[in-house]
Amino acid sequence: MTSFQSTLGEDAGIAEELAESQQSISIAEFFEKNKHMLGFDSGARGLVTAVKEAVDNALDAAEESGILPDIYVEIQEAGDYYRLIVEDNGPGLTKESLPKVFGKLLYGSRFHAREQSRGQQGIGISAAVLYAQLTSGKPAKITSRTQGSEEAEYFELIVDTDNNEPEISVEETTTWDRPHGTRIELEMEANMRARQQLHDYIKHTAVVNPHARLELREPQEHFKFERATDQLPEETEEIRPHPHGVELGTVMKMLAATDSQTVSGFVQEEFTRVGKKTAESIIDEFRDRHYGREMRWRPPASHEAVDLHAAVEDATANKGADATAAFADAVAEAVADADRIAHHELVAAVESAAEAVEDDHGTTFGDTVRENAVEAVWLELIDAVEADDSDESEGDVDSRLVADLYDLADDATSTRKDDAVIDAFADRLAAKFEDELEGGDEDDGNVRHRLTHKRLRDHVDRAADLTEEYDDVSFGETARENVTDAIWDVMATVPDDPPLVRELDGDRDATSNLVDAMRGTDIMAPPTRCLAPISEDLITAGLEKEFDADFYASATRDAGVSGGDPFIVEAGIAYGGDLPAEGTGEVMRFANRVPLVYQRGACATTDVVKSIGWRNYGLDQPGGSGLPNGPVVIMVHVASTNVPFTSESKDAVANVPEIEDEIELAIREAARELKSYLNKRRSMQQRRKKQNVLGKILPEMAEKVAEVTGREEPDIDDAIARIMNNVLVERHTEANGDGTAVSVVVENNSSTNESLEVTDIVSAEPRNLSDGATVVEMDGEWFVKWEPEVSSDDEAALEYEIPDDATFDLDVKGVESEKLTVKQ
Ligand SMILES: Nc1ncnc2c1ncn2[C@@H]1O[C@H](COP(=O)(O)OP(=O)(O)OP(=O)(O)O)[C@@H](O)[C@H]1O
C-alpha cells in the first residue's frame, strides 16, 4: 500500500477535498490545451489548417446556395505575425449567427445532417479564431454581407474560453463591394515552412472542384485557378440513417425520442429505405432473436402407430359423437397435410377446425376444448406420450423426434459420417428437446419447443460433445454449425406481436435484438442523393487540367454503407507525359472534395495503394509492395455523409474495412485501364522497333535483289506493311481522257477489323466521287473525307476524279500510327 493510500482510510475528508478540486472544463479550454487535435500543432501547420477551414466553409456555403464559388486567399507578412485573409462570394452570414459561427466551438449547421459536406463538426473556423487569438492576441475581423442587403456587418471578436461564447469587441455596419459573401481576417503566429502543403491543398482543391475559381496570393507567389466548368456539383439532400449502420446507443436514443408507437412505425419513420414490407422482415428477424423460433416437427407417416384422430377424440368431451369425430378428422387432416408443423401452427389448425365444425354442427368448441385438443395432438407429435401398444422400453432411441433429427443432421453433415454416429447424435439431441419440457420459462416447461438460435446451438454442442466422448468420433465446428442451421431453417418464426416502442424504450437487450434484426435484414442500399461524387468525367478533366500526362483513367464506384452512412469511392490515375519519371508516384487523397495533405502514412487510402501489387498493372514496385515508382499520380476520393476520420483535424481516413474494400476496387478499376494502356504501348514500342529494323534492312536487300536480277526495285513500303500486318493506305493516280483518276486504296493486313477516317486534301475540285465520300471546300482546298470499315485481310477503295493535275495530302485517323503505313 502506498503512503497516499494508507492515509486515505484514516482521513475521511480527503474525498471531499479532492471533490472540491473537480470542475467542469469548457470545450474551448480543452481545445486551447489540445490544439494539435484540430490540426493547429505548429505555426507552419496552423496556417495551412486555417486556410483549409476557411476555404472548405466557403465552398460548402457557396454550393449550398447554388453559387459558383469565387474564393480569394491572401497571406501577408505582418511584422512577427502572418495575416490571413479569406474572401468568398457565398450567401454571407446573418448578424445573429455570425458571432457564434466564429466565436463558439461546436456550433455549426452540419453535425446532425446526413448529407455530404466538407464541414462536419462545427469546430473548424472557430478553432482557427481561437488559434489566432492565442498566438497573436488579436481578435478575428469578420465582414459579411447577405444576399440582397445594402450593407455589410463587421465584427471583431474572440472566443471566450471560459464559457465557449463569442466575446465581441467591435460590431458595426459597413460597406463592401462584394454583393454577398464573407471575409475573414486572422492574425497568427505562423511561418511558411508548410508552403508546399499549402500549395498542394489549393491545387488539389482546384482538381476536385473544377467549378470553383480559386486565387492564392502569398508573400512569394500568386496563383490563379480558373474554373473548368460552370456546372455546380449535384445538389445533395439530407437522408435518414440506414438501418445497417446504426449503433445500439443511437437506436436507444431514437426510441426515446420517436413519436411512433409500434416498432413497425418506428423503423419506417426513422430510417431510410424501410417501407411496410421491409419493416415486416425486420420484425420477423426481431421475433427470431427476441422470442426464438418454434421447432416444426414432421407429422406422423401413415405407417407410424400414431393416431391423432383418437388423441383429439379422447381430449374432447361432451360435444356429441358426430361433431367430435368431424373435429378430430379436421385436425388430423390439417396436421397430415402439413410438411412440418410448429406449435403455433397447430394452434391455428385447431382454431380453424373448431370454427368449421361449430358452423357445420351448431356446437360451440370453446377455449378449453381447443386447448385440450392442441395439447393432446402436440404431445403425440413430440412423442411425449407413451403409447399403450408400445413394446419399446422407456427412453428408446427409435422415437419420432430422433428419426426427424436424424434426417436433418444426416443431410447437413458430410457423407463420411457413420449412420450409427448420426443416429447417436440425433438421439442425444432429441433428449435435449425432451429436456425442454421440464426447462423453459413456462409452467409446463417449454412444451412449444421454442428456442433461440443460441440455445439450439448449445443443445447441438452438448449432443455433439457427448457423441465425441462416447463414440470416439469427431464432430467438428462445421458439422455443428451446419446441423444448427439446418434445424434453424426448418423452425418457424413465431407470430407474437413485438413489444411496443414504450416497452422497448430503455430495454437494452430487446433493443439490441432490434439492432441485430435490422442488420440481419436485406435492405436496399441507402439513396445516394445525399452524396455528390465528382464523377468519372470530371475526375479526368480535373487531372488533365493540373497534370500534363499521356494517359488518364477514372472510376466511380456504386454507393456502399458504413456505420449507417452511405459512401462512394472514386479513383483516378494519370500516367506519363510531364510527370516525374524518377521516384515514387504521387498519391492524392480527398474526402468530400477536400484534399488531405497531412498524415499520409496514417490514412486508409495510402494503406490500400501500398497493398496493391502494382507490378500486375505494369508499374515498377520495388519489393512488390509499397507505393509504385514512376510517372504516376493516383487520386482517391471518399465521399460520405460522415467520413470516418482518424481525428478531429480530418487529415486521414480511418481503416474501416468496407471503405478500404471500395477504395481498393475503385483503384483496381482505374488501374486495369492503365494496364491495358501500358501493354498496348509496350507492344507498339516493340512494333516500332521491328519496323525500324525492317525499314533499314529491306531497302538494302531490295537494292541488292534489283542489282542481281536486273529488275526494278520492289516497293518497300508495301512489303513492310504486309510483313508488319499493318493497314496500308496508298494513293494511285492515272491520267484518263478528262483529267486524272484518283484511287485511295485501304488494304487491311491486320488481324482485326478496322474503322478508319481517311481524308485526302486536294488542290483541285474533285468530281465523280465513289459512294460514302463527302467534300468540304476551304480556301481553295477540297477535303475529300471517307470513313471505310475494312475487315481483316480485305481492302476498300475511295475513288474520284480531278480535272487536271493537283497536289494531294493524305490524313488517316482511327489506327495507331505504329500499325499504319501511308503512301502518299
Ligand atoms: N464562409 C461562410 N459562409 C457561410 N456560412 C459559413 C461560412 N463559414 C462557416 N459557416 C457556417 O458556420 C458553421 C460552422 O463552421 P465551422 O467551420 O466551425 O464548422 P463546420 O464547417 O460545420 O464543421 P468542421 O468543424 O468539420 O469544419 C458551418 O456549419 C456553416 O453553417
Under the banding of pLDDT at 50, 70 and 90, the label for residue 652 is very high
pLDDT computed for residue 80 by the predictor: 87
| pLDDT reported for residue 24 | 75
CB atoms within 10 A of CB 737: 5
Query: Band of the pLDDT at 480, cuts 50, 70, 90?
Result: very high
Task: Find out whether the beta carbon of 124 lies less than 6 Å from any atom of ligand 1.
Answer: yes
pLDDT of residue 317: 84
Please tell me the residue having the least CA distance from ligand 1 atom 21. 119
For residue 109, report the distance from its CA to the centre of ligand 1, in Å.
7
Tens-place pLDDT, residues 55-103 = 999 999 999 999 999 999 999 999 889 999 999 999 999 999 999 999 9
Cα of 108 vs centre of ligand 1, distance in Å, is 6
The pLDDT of residue 633 is above 80: yes
- In this predicted model, what pLDDT tens digit does every residue of 509-526 receive, in sequence order? 999 999 999 999 999 888
Phi, psi of 81 (to 5 degrees): -120, 175
**Ligand 1 pocket, mutate which of 125, 130, 183, 648 (most atoms under 8 A from CB):** 125
Compute the distance between CA of residue 49 and CA of residue 487 in angstroms, rounded to an integer.
59
User: 122 in ligand 1 pocket by Cβ < 6 Å?
Assistant: yes
Distance, in Å, from the CA atom of 651 to the CA atom of 360, rounded to the nearest integer, reads: 78
Q: Where are the domains of the chain?
A: 27-225, 248-291+496-520, 295-386, 395-495, 536-680, 723-823
What would the grid cell of residue 633 be? 499520380
What stretches of 155-275 show up as alpha helix (H) in DSSP? 195-208, 248-257, 263-270
122 Cα to the center of ligand 1, angstroms: 6
Q: Find out whether 750 and 793 touch, Cβ atoms under 8 Å.
A: no
Q: Give the integer Cα–Cα distance in Å for 715 and 702.
A: 8
pLDDT in tens, 312-321: 999 988 888 8
Res. 385 pLDDT band, cuts 50 70 90: low
| Nearest atom in ligand 1 to 90's CA | 3
Percent of the chain with pLDDT over 90: 65
Contact between 126 and 184 (Cβ < 8 Å):
no
Cβ(58) – ligand 1 distance below 6 Å: yes
The answer, yes or no, to whether residue 387 has pLDDT greater than 50, is: no
The finding on whether 762 has its CB within 6 A of some atom of ligand 1 is no
Q: Which of 51, 55, 72, 101 has the most ligand 1 atoms within 8 A of CB, as the residue to mutate?
A: 101
Confirm or reject: Cβ of 39 under 6 Å from ligand 1. no
Q: Measure the CA–CA gap between 55 and 76, rounded to whole angstroms.
A: 17
Tell me how long the chain is.
824
Per the annotation, where are the binding residues for ATP? 57, 88, 109-110, 119-126, 650
pLDDT digits (tens, 9 = 90+) for 149-158: 999 999 999 9
Q: Are the CB atoms for 183 and 144 separated by under 8 Å?
A: yes
Domains 536-680 and 723-823 share a fold: no
Angle (nearest 5°) at CA 44 between 39 and 50: 50
- Which residue has the least CA distance to atom 1 on ligand 1? 58
- Given the CA of residue 126, which atom of ligand 1 is nearest to it? 18
Sheet of strand 293-294, all strands in order from the earlier edge strand to the far edge: 450-451, 293-294, 492-493
Taking domain 723-823, whether its CATH number is 3.40.50.720 is answered by no
Residue 182 φ/ψ region, left for φ over 0, alpha for ψ in the -120 to 50 degree band, beta for the rest:
beta
Q: How confident is the model at residue 396 (pLDDT cuts 50, 70, 90)?
A: very low
Ligand 1 pocket, 647 CB below 6 A?
no
Q: Report the chain's mean pLDDT, rounded to a whole number.
A: 90
Q: What atom of ligand 1 comes closest to residue 86's alpha carbon?
A: 1
Across the range 271-297, mean pLDDT stands at: 96
ipTM: 0.95
Cβ(566)–Cβ(273) below 8 Å:
no
pLDDT at 443: 54
Measured in Å, residue 125 CA sits from the centre of ligand 1 at: 7
Report whether 312 contacts 376 (CB < 8 A).
yes
Q: What are the angstrom distances between the C-alpha of 617 and each of 67, 202, 605, 671?
A: 41, 30, 18, 6
Tally of CB atoms within 10 A around 265: 15
The pLDDT score that the predictor gives to residue 444 is 60
Task: Domain 27-225: give its CATH architecture.
Answer: 2-Layer Sandwich (3.30)
Task: Check whether 570 has a pLDDT greater than 60.
Answer: yes
Characterize the bridge pairing of strands 789-790 and 781-786.
unpaired
pLDDT for res 671: 97
Residues 795-818 have a mean pLDDT of 90
Is the distance from CB of 557 to CB of 534 less than 8 angstroms?
Answer: no
Q: Do residues 376 and 447 lie in contact, with contact meaning Cβ atoms separated by under 8 Å? A: no
Which tens digit of pLDDT belongs to each residue from 224-260? 999 888 989 888 888 888 898 788 988 999 999 999 9
Write the pLDDT tens digit of every residue in 8-20. Answer: 455 567 888 878 7
- Binding-site residue numbers are 57, 88, 109-110, 119-126, 650
The CATH fold assigned to 536-680 is: Ribosomal Protein S5; domain 2 (3.30.230)
Evaluate if residue 52 carries a pLDDT over 80: yes
Taking the centre of ligand 1 as the mean of its atom positions, its distance from the CA of residue 447, in whole angstroms, is: 62
> Of 6-15, 354-363, 767-776, 794-803, where does mean pLDDT reach its minimum?
6-15
Ligand 1: centre distance to CA 123 (Å): 8
